[in-house]
Amino acid sequence: MTALLEVAGLSKRFGGLQAVEALTFTVVEGEILGLIGPNGAGKSTVFNLINGVFAPSGGRVAFRGADITGAAPYRAARLGLARTHQIVQPFAGMSVLDNCTVGACFGREDLPLAKAREAAREAAALVGLDKRLETPALELTIAGKKRLELARALAARPALLMLDEVLAGLNPTEVTHMIEVLRTIRSRGVSILMIEHLMQAIMSLSDRIVVLNYGRKLSEGPPAQVAHDPMVIEAYLGDPGMVQRRAS
């Protein structure tokens, strides 16, 4: 098991707010690592620090052995780090195929245009957008745009895929479909780091889970272990001991 992504002592301060503090974790090759935590815990900020959207205030990020701390997002992408956005960011005026082609062209394999189109078609087919290739992105439904985010990231043929709430806002049928897609992606050897609020989904998908609260790591381990960690339960639901103390 080799480490694909190593995050060590990562910190970010926005003015008076310590958004992320001394966060350390590793994603090993082939695993799905879930990143969970209450709203505002700093999960999306961690993504933005990893792929260089924000420069960290401290700590370091290494991806496939290369130090990418504070490097521009396009450098991380070139190395094989792809991500989706919680709030979808499509190229609204471009077709689904063109959107995916951008991902393929400038991703890990630096494909020429013709080959990139092929990779883009494959990625679109994998998420079920193969019948909408010529549709302008702005005409897609929210579920369609979520899929497009994923297809665009996949077209880059990444080594690590960072998913920021790809299941949020989808109906149960769409969620089931999306989980199937994620399993397929994983079976192709792509490692995944995912943020998700849908507990059932992330508990069943993840190999390990890191729990974040107020920017710090609260707990880490296999889903079952994390789910029974009193600290985690407290962060999500309040103090579990309180009920017992009241009863006694």
Partner 1 sequence: MLKRPFFWIIAVTIAVFAVAPRGTDVELRESLLLAAVYITLASNLNLMLGYAGYVNFGSIVFFGLGGYFCVYFMGTLGWGLVPSLAVAGVAVSVAALLFGLGILRLRGVHFALATIGVNEAVQAFVTNFEPWGGSTGIYLAPELFQPLGGPGPALWVIYYLLVAIMGVSLYLSYFIKRSKFGLGLLSIGQNEDAAAVLGVPTPRYKALAYSASALLPAIAGGLYFFKGAFVQPADAFDLTLSTEAIVITMLGGQGTIAGPALGAYLYEELRGWLLTSETFANFQLVVAGVLLLLIVQFAPDGLMGFLYRRFPRLRRFLE
Among residues 173, 75, 87, 94, the alpha carbon closest in space to that of 128 is found at: 173
Closest CA to 206 of 14, 13, 30, 15: 30
Binding residues for partner 1, how many (CB under 8 A)? 29
What phi and psi, each to the nearest 5 degrees, are found at residue 97?
Answer: -65, -45
**Residue 223 touching partner 1 (CB under 8 A):** no
Binding mask 49-88 for partner 1 (x = CB under 8 A): --x-x------------------xxx--xx---xx-x---
* C-beta closer to partner 1: residue 155 or 235: 155
> Segment contacting partner 1 (CB under 8 A): 7-15, 56-64, 98-106, 221-229?
98-106
Residue 131 has which token pair? 């019948």
- How many CB atoms within 10 Å of residue 172? 7
Q: Which of 34, 103, 144, 223 touches partner 1 (CB under 8 A)?
A: 103
- 104 or 175: CB nearest partner 1: 104
Site for partner 1 in 118-177 (CB under 8 A): 152-153, 156
Which CB sits closer to partner 1, 21 or 164? 164
Contacts of 208 (CB under 8 A, 6+ apart): 31, 33, 34, 220, 221, 222, 223
> How many other β-carbons are positioned within 10 Å of the β-carbon of residue 230?
11
Binding site for partner 1 (CB under 8 A): 51, 53, 72-74, 77-78, 82-83, 85, 89-94, 98, 101-103, 105-107, 112-113, 116, 152-153, 156
